[in-house]
Structure 1
Amino acid sequence: MSRADFWSEQESARKRSERASDLRKELQSWNSLTEEVGHLRELTEVVLNSGDTSLEQSLCQGLEETRKKFYDLEFITLFQGRYDERSAILAIHAGAGGTEAQDWASMLLRMYMRFAEAHNWKSRIIDEHRGEVAGIKSVTIAIEGRWAYGYLRSEQGVHRLVRISPFDAEKMRHTSFALVEVLPELDPVEERQIDPKDLRIDTYLSSGHGGQSVQTTYSAVRVVHLPTGITVSCQNERSQQQNKETALKILQSKLHQLALREQQDEKHKLRGAYQSAEWGNQARSYVLQPYKLVKDHRTKFETSDTDVVLDGKLEPFMESYLRWILEQERKAETTSRI
């Protein structure tokens, strides 16, 4: 950040500056917590040595406050995915069911926007298709903030709502579905720097156009990129140097295309297999009638406080999901060793 050209790329510099600020705050929080723990230890020793029970209430209160701060900071240690620190792209697609499902999609949109707001993240709608009567058919939002993807990747999957429909004159109970997709914000694919040590350059007699000299000198060039095996040949230019420059330009383009394909493959991998928004595929259920319950079918975590959840309080579900994922990875690792 102290470099003279740091702000030459303003968008990149802004993101780096914000990340540095976040890291400083995080470090300050851990240092502050360490100091508080030290203070509590000293206070505990005073209470034990003096037998002064009047300090016990203050000690218990301080312990509870410190424990809460620790749990909040411990949450960050659960983020172990490659892209967890990135911003996120979240899409919501209403399932079959017309207006009822589209209204449920709009409820989910509000829930995630409130969640982002509570974390002081920036959110903006990239694309939106509204329903004819109410709600939305689909919407895509960008949520910019550190750890946004780490939090929100737990939301991937089908979300099921059970309630008495406000659009049904007979007040019948309806079940609606919506699919939520979450992707990390990936960096733009930049041109790869070609290391000369990664190249094998061969020359040979040209047989192409270009006059008599083309066919009597070793002007043709074949460039092999050893790490990828990509081979580019060029023989139509008049000189070996020109053929080499042209071949390297073509190789650069091919490497760029390869990087784009790799990024698309990574996106497909992160998105996972397509799931239709219907019964049997749900990741989480929200039951508002005849009783109140929100349950994650993967982690089995549940709560009856549906209003708080729909208002964006999703951290307990996200924490249980991250712990569940880590447990699944440990089990898989243990099984592979057997």
Structure 2
Amino acid sequence: MRERQFLESAVEGIRKLETGLQDSIDLIAMGEEEGDQSVVADAEAEIKALKADVDKRQIEMLLSGEADKFDTYVEVHSGAGGTESQDWAAMLLRMYMRWAERAGMKVELLEAHYGEEAGIKSATIQIKGHNAYGWMKTESGVHRLVRISPYDSQAKRHTSFASVWVYPVVDETIEVEVNESDVRIDTYRASGAGGQHVNTTDSAVRITHIPSGIVVQCQNERSQHKNRATAWDMLRARLYEAELQRREEVANKEAASKTDIGWGHQIRSYVLQPYQMVKDLRTGVQSTAPQDVLDGKIDDFMEAALAHRVHGGSVDVADTE
């Protein structure tokens, strides 16, 4: 049903583009015939708006990977630096949640480990919506923040790092085999912000896949059974994502070097002081409105990164305001 709704929406969107273009052409012809330049100007403005819609749909055509259509998990981890980095990780998490809301997608917080003073040490969310993984997959990597720290009494400029890991939610059509002898399951008490216990039982679940070293955890439900089921789903998704990465490396070693996911691979800088700039280090796309970016307006960065990933760097670099 979801695929059918997407296809119906796509076909209807193309029909609206065709109708809108023809209507605008007719209005231009009528305006020129009657000498009414205001009608011509309005129609030309409408064509420009249609062009922006076409550009967006062209980017969506890049989302044809095996897993692009799936929902996605997003993990955010703070780097070294205590409260400052933990606050930055929380800012990043909010940015992705705001982006998802703007895109009409649903967000669920699966687990979070909060900092003692502020921010988060780590957190995992699930974003549900068509092509959620396809849009988010280029966000994996290290994000750098430069600002005057609100936690520094001397108001010094600080540089903080946080890492983002994105992997697809595996649906029932994808089979991922996991030997139970290869995993270790631990349970612990879930805790909320400020160290307050969410409950008094060991309902949170952590699963470690010993051969790969992959660790997943879930604590959003009071039921250990539900958390365990969600954690198993997350583990299968991580193993599936690892297989997708392996295939990509085999297919194209050059592309693999550009899309490497690791703590040492910085993809974007967010500078709030001494000047204001967000710049993607892979594509060169930048914005002089970091507050808008941190409020979820990251589509320009995502689109350029997708084109860069598919075309190996042949992407028009444009500044965004």
TM-score by length of 1: 0.66
Counterpart among 123, 127, 132 of residue 116 in structure 2: 132
Match of 1:114 in 2: 98
Shift of 1:309: 0.1
| Distance in structure 2 (CA, Å) of the matches to 1:262 and 1:289 | 40
What secondary structure, in the 3-state scheme, does the structure 1 residue paired with 2:87 have? Answer: helix
**Residue 73 of structure 2 is aligned to residue 81 of structure 1:** no
Matched residue type, 1:85: K
Counterpart among 290, 300, 307 of residue 306 in structure 1: 290
**Residue 250 of structure 2 is aligned to residue 266 of structure 1:** no
- Residue by residue over 1:166-209, the C-alpha shift from the partner in whole angstroms, topping out at 9 and shown as x without a partner, is 111111100000010001112245599xxxxxxxxxxxxxxxxx
Matched residue type, 1:266: E
Shift of 1:45: 3.1
Shift of 1:83: 1.6
Higher alpha-carbon deviation: 292-301 or 48-57: 48-57
Shift of 1:23: 2.1
Shift of 1:105: 0.3
Match of 1:183 in 2: 167
Match of 1:196 in 2: none
Matched residue type, 2:37: T
Matched residue type, 2:170: L
- Residue by residue over 1:54-96, the C-alpha shift from the partner in whole angstroms, topping out at 9 and shown as x without a partner, is 5222322322332233233333123232221111111001011
Of the two, which has the highest radius of gyration?
A: 1
CA spacing shift, 1:102–1:267, aligned 2, 3 Å: farther
Counterpart among 262, 276, 291 of residue 275 in structure 1: 262
CA spacing shift, 1:38–1:105, aligned 2, 3 Å: same
CA spacing shift, 1:330–1:114, aligned 2, 3 Å: closer
| Distance in structure 1 (CA, Å) of the matches to 2:238 and 2:289 | 44
| Backbone CA RMSD of aligned residues | 2.8
Higher alpha-carbon deviation: 150-159 or 40-49: 40-49
Higher alpha-carbon deviation: 163-172 or 63-72: 63-72
CA spacing shift, 1:89–1:260, aligned 2, 3 Å: closer
Spell out the pairing of 1:121-270 with structure 2 (5 A cutoff): 121-188=105-172, 189-190=174-175, 263=240, 265-266=242-243, 269=246
Shift of 1:298: 0.6
Matched residue type, 1:306: P
Percentage of identical aligned residues:
38
Shift of 1:31: 0.7
| Distance in structure 2 (CA, Å) of the matches to 1:73 and 1:262 | 30
| Distance in structure 2 (CA, Å) of the matches to 1:145 and 1:330 | 28
What secondary structure, in the 3-state scheme, does the structure 2 residue paired with 1:167 have? Answer: coil
What secondary structure, in the 3-state scheme, does the structure 2 residue paired with 1:27 have? Answer: helix
Counterpart among 278, 295, 314 of residue 294 in structure 1: 278
Alignment size in residue pairs = 246
CA spacing shift, 1:127–1:268, aligned 2, 3 Å: farther
Match of 1:11 in 2: none
What secondary structure, in the 3-state scheme, does the structure 2 residue paired with 1:298 have? Answer: coil
Indicate conservation of the 8 Å contact 1:183/1:267, yes or no.
Answer: no
- Residue by residue over 1:275-334, the C-alpha shift from the partner in whole angstroms, topping out at 9 and shown as x without a partner, is 22x6xx311000000000000001111111000000000100011111111221889xxx
Give 5+ residue unaligned stretches, structure 1. 1-16, 193-258, 332-338
Shift of 1:52: 4.3
Match of 2:183 in 1: none
More helix by share: 1
Give 5+ residue unaligned stretches, structure 2. 178-235, 249-255, 316-321
- Residue by residue over 1:237-260, the C-alpha shift from the partner in whole angstroms, topping out at 9 and shown as x without a partner, is xxxxxxxxxxxxxxxxxxxxxx99
| Distance in structure 2 (CA, Å) of the matches to 1:108 and 1:26 | 31
Counterpart among 34, 54, 64 of residue 18 in structure 2: 34
| Distance in structure 2 (CA, Å) of the matches to 1:98 and 1:37 | 54
CA spacing shift, 1:183–1:292, aligned 2, 3 Å: same
Shift of 1:49: 4.7
CA spacing shift, 1:263–1:310, aligned 2, 3 Å: closer
Higher alpha-carbon deviation: 262-271 or 286-295: 262-271
